[in-house]
A = this chain, B = another copy of it.
Amino acid sequence: MIVVVCLNPALDVTHHVTTVNWAGVNRPTAVHARPGGKGVNVARTLRALGADLQLTGLAGGVTGAGIEAALGRLGVPTALTPIAAETRRTFTVVDGGGAVTAFNEAGPEVTEREFAEFRGQYDKALAGASVVVLSGSLPRGLSAGAYATLIEMAAAAGVPAVLDTHGEALLRGAAAGPAIVKPNLEELASLAGRRLSAADGGPDLTAVTAAADKLRIAGAQAVVASMGSAGLLAVTGDGRWLARPAAVTGNATGAGDAVVAALAHGLVLGRPWGERLRHAAALGSATVAAPVAGEFSDYDYASALSAVTVHQEEVG
């Protein structure tokens, strides 16, 4: 079983409006409300892959209950720990002219006691876990070391961890020795304190490798950098791999979460690095091609899979 941790889920509400009247009353022509947050996207992708999974995390109030009910309808098994504060909503207005405006609530403040309760539930889930995925931002009230704590607990139970977060939580998490961390270029650049792009606008792979090595030195066993249309670069103890997908247009939201889901799935299946990356790059592409984060078509996945090129690189 893959245990997915989502400590800060969201209810993502989208209103489609023909032409927004910013000074009056609008009547949306279409309304969508979906459970979101990076961990939720990972869980939905794993569910679509047919993986055995459980989504754990924190959920509070009416919005938390709503997310739980919606995940139930989507067939995603959940074991969310209740918190007192209200789970966050994101609210996005999409104008017929293409303008997109987002309003992201700050989300709940989690207490020490609630996080302790979560750890109790998480520890039980670890007993049946083969991989743990920790994904997304930390809610207010939790220290930057929260993911490190959860990775240490997983290690104590012999369960490898995949971490996808940013900033201090990523650095501290890497120090707890996860099997894989998956930063994107922006997160890596922020950690490295420098731009990682080459003169042609694409990523400077030497610089990306150097930034990834910082996370390996900190403690991560492997680093997979997601570089958008430039693909994935894996820097591991066994070598360095580059997976490049075919060009695809669409909505990049959730593509990184699909990559994380595929990496976790590949770990469970014991896929070697080359194959693991091929699937991760293909699933990322297929998710870009789909209109909704966390979804993809089997056709796009299969097409992308045969189009991805994977090279094991000389470490130079």
Contact = CB atoms under 8 A, between A and B. Distances in A.
Nearest to A63: B66
A45 B106 CA distance: 31
Nearest to A89: B13
A105 B24 contact: no
Interface string A10-33: 010101010011111111100101
A302 interface: no
A100 B70 CA distance: 31
B13 A91 contact: yes
A62 interface: yes
A104 interface: yes
Contacts of A105: 15, 28, 31
Nearest to A95: B22
Contact of A66 (B15, B26, B66, B93): B66
A26 B22 CA distance: 15
B99 A27 contact: no
Copies of this chain, count:
2
Given A66-B62, A69-B62, A102-B24, A15 B86 contact: no
A241 to B, nearest CB: 33
Contacts of A26: 101-104
Contacts of A89: 13, 31
A161 to B, nearest CB: 29
Contact of A104 (B20, B25, B62): B25
A103 B22 contact: no
A63 B25 CA distance: 21
A48 interface: no
A153 interface: no
5 contacts: A13-B89, A22-B22, A25-B102, A27-B106, A65-B65
